[in-house]
Amino acid sequence: MVIKSEERRLEIDIPTLVAISTIAWILVNVSHEIIGHAGSAALLGIPVRVVSTTSTSIDGDQVSSIGAYRTIMAAGTVMNLVGGAAALILLRLQIQANSATRYFLWLFATFSFIIAAMNLVSVMLIGAGDWMEFIRELEPGGLWKAIIIGVGIIITIFGYIMPLRIWMPDLKDKRKTQLAVTVIPVVTLIVVQSLSLIGSPFVRLPNAENHLLACVFAYLHFVLWAVLVNVLPEPRSKNPLHSIRLPRSYVWLAFGLLFALFYLVVLGPGLGLLE
């Protein structure tokens, strides 16, 4: 399936867009859970019991200090911020890169900042998540919570504006194209993430710890982003329309399939043993 516009022959190959969206989401999630949480725990010499597409479980008895614990809790969001910022820089520099690569960088940056914003703002507002654990035993707790939410709001605004300003041209006369490049990636990540929960040990936990509910909460943030992008006309880049033309790429399709298989079959059920 291909969406085309007669003017300037703007076309978006939907399978390629789905493949790029799949890879971008998987790498954002892996950056948070495996590179961030599990990686920091491993560097600190703390055994990692299991990693999956929704969580990292460590051996809490081996955490020697509150500083180490805070490092592990913060590392997931920090990796998302570092990855998102790096993708934006590359997106800004790689003006002559092929459109598929620029799509990937744009989606990776966008997804990264949405996850960071969720953890720093909305999850904090409901009194849960990594950063509530980070400020445990810090006094005054209310002030620390307010500071993190304030920083999160600034990051949220930056993370919404900059990817659009750098990459997305004005598509007000190309509503189908705009819907395609914003809604399809969100639908893709929701489907991929939901399928990854099949067989996950974390889905069978009680409601307060059920990761299916946590994923649904995360999905709402991506849906809100897609709505805002399609309702608000700004910000937009000055790039020409043809800059987001996306032809069929069998390389991206092949890698998208490989990433999806690993994510669903291997990482979804979890690597390690949850006792």
pLDDT of residue 211: 75
Give the model's pLDDT for residue 6: 41
pLDDT averaged per 10 residues, the chain (length 275): 52 96 98 95 90 85 86 96 97 83 97 98 94 92 96 98 96 91 98 91 63 89 98 94 93 98 92 66
Closest by alpha carbon to 12, among 224, 137, 168? Answer: 168
Q: How far is CA 252 from CA 17, 36, 88, 195, 259, in A?
A: 9, 25, 20, 21, 10
pLDDT of residue 62: 79
Label residue 198 left, alpha or beta by phi (over 0 means left) and psi (-120 to 50 means alpha). Answer: beta
Is the pTM value of this prediction over 0.85?
yes
Q: Classify each residue of 202-223 as buried b or exposed e, where b means 16 or more C-beta atoms within 10 Å of its C-beta.
A: bbeeeeeebbbebbeebbebbe
Radius of gyration of the chain (CA): 19
Q: What is the pLDDT of residue 177?
A: 93
Residues in contact with 44: Cβ distance below 8 Å, sequence separation at least 6, in sequence order: 68, 71, 72
* Residue 105 contacts residue 49 (beta carbons within 8 Å): no
